[in-house]
Amino acid sequence: MTKNLNLLVLGGTSAIALSIVKKRLDDCVKYDRNLSVTLVGRDKGKLEVESQHLQSIGVITTMEISDLSGFSDDVFKSGIQYDDVVIAYGSLTDQERAEGDREYREYQIQTNFRSTVEWMEASVQHFLSHGKGNMIVLGSVAGDRGRLSNYIYGTCKGAVEIYAQGLSHRFANKKGINILLVKPGFVDTPMTANIDKKGLLWAQPDKIAHDVICAINKNKRMIYTPWFWRWIMLIIRNVPAFIFEKTKL
């Protein structure tokens, strides 16, 4: 039997992250490896439910109850050497509220950007001390262009992308350390539970996870998922402002 695969999931109730864990498990079963996962999140009850499920299907799990928007590097001090770190927590910002409520706005920026930076840096340090690792950061297509309906959330996600780009550049010549920024389109997850999901643009977390694993295997730096968002966003980014600003997007 080869070595265990260790995963750290920041945002242990994220449907996309949990789907990534299950895909990793399928691979581990195939190659007769064990999979250990540390789930970090705020909601103990929900983490327990997810952890129970993962244990049932053969994953070794550890839980860490922690508010990810406040950063603490305790989880890296456990002695576990993580092969993958999935940064999947976040808060879908209520744009209107964030415009008028400074405290809320700061909290959103703290959650979706500032703390993410700390987690990315801590992960990088962790990888450097072991010589390798994959970082999977969930960005969003919302980060591609500022739009009136969600530019505060979009700014955070866009900033995270630039940060991830910088890290990718920094480790461009360092084999073994990979940073993947994932830009999902509309995904049917708890985060979007209040949005009516009609139409072909909505994807299941399983599909996103599938694309993420393919991208890691190919050492990609950034993916849109599902694939067609690349082309949708190409158009969105290039529409001239005088037309774009007439829309309510």
Partner 1 sequence: MTTLKPWAGVAEYTGTVNRPDYLSELSIPTLEKSLAFFGQGRSYGDVALSAGKHCIVTQKLNRFISTDWEHGIIRAESGMMLGEILKYAVPRGWFLPVTPGTKFVTLGGAVANDIHGKNHHQTGSFGNFVRTIGLRRSDSEDVLTLSRAENAELFEYTISGLGLTGFIAWVEIELKPVCSSYFDVENIRFSNLNEFFELSKLSEDFPYTVAWVDCFAKGNALGRGIFTRARHSQEDGTLAQLASDSKLTLPINFPSYAMSRMNIKAFNKVYMNRPGATFKGKQHFGKFLYPLDGFLNWNKLYGKRGFYQYQTIVPMENARETISELLKAIEASSLGSFLAVLKIHGDETSPGKNSFPFAGASLALDFPNVNRKIARLFAELDQIVEKCGGRLYPAKDFHMSSSAFKNSYPNWKTLEELRDPAIQTKFWKRVTEQS
Residues that bind partner 1 (CB under 8 A): 15, 29, 45-46, 49-50, 52-53, 56-58, 190, 193, 196, 198
For 2, half-sphere exposure in the C-beta direction (CA atoms, 13 angstrom radius) is: 10
Question: Residue 56 CB, nearest distance to partner 1 (Å)?
Answer: 3
Q: Least distance (Å) from partner 1 to the CB of residue 24?
A: 15
Query: How many CB atoms sit inside 10 A of residue 150's CB?
Result: 19
| Residue whose pair of structure tokens reads 């340090």 in the numeric block | 125
CA dist 227 to 78, 204, 206, Å?
Answer: 37, 13, 14
Task: Give the shortest CB-46-to-partner 1 separation in angstroms.
Answer: 6
Q: For residues 25 and 40, which CB has a smaller minimum distance to partner 1 in the complex?
A: 25
Minimum CB separation of residue 180 from partner 1 in Å reads 25
Q: How far apart are CA 69 and CA 30, in angstroms?
A: 36
Nearer to partner 1, 15 or 152 (CB): 15
Cα separations in angstroms, 220 against 41, 150, 205: 27, 27, 19
- Minimum distance from CB of 51 to partner 1 (Å)? 10
Query: In the 8-state DSSP scheme, what is residue 225?
Result: E
235: burial class by Cβ within 10 Å (0-12, 13-18, 19+)?
Answer: exposed
Phi, psi at 163, each rounded to 5°: -60, -45
Residue (2 or 173) nearer to partner 1, CB? 2
Alpha carbon distance, N-terminus to C-terminus of the chain: 52
CB of 207 to partner 1, least distance (A): 12
Task: Pick between residue 200 and residue 235 the one whose CB is nearest to partner 1.
Answer: 200
| CB contact at 8 A, 138 and 184 | yes
* CB nearer to partner 1: pick between 171 and 202: 202
- 8 A C-beta contact, residue 36 and residue 4: yes
CB of 41 to partner 1, least distance (A): 13
Establish how many alpha carbons lie within 13 A of residue 66's alpha carbon, considering only the half-sphere containing its beta carbon.
Answer: 20
The nearer residue to partner 1, 219 or 227, going by C-beta atoms, is 227
Nearer to partner 1, 50 or 84 (CB): 50
Identify whether the C-beta of residue 7 lies closer than 8 Å to the C-beta of residue 84.
yes
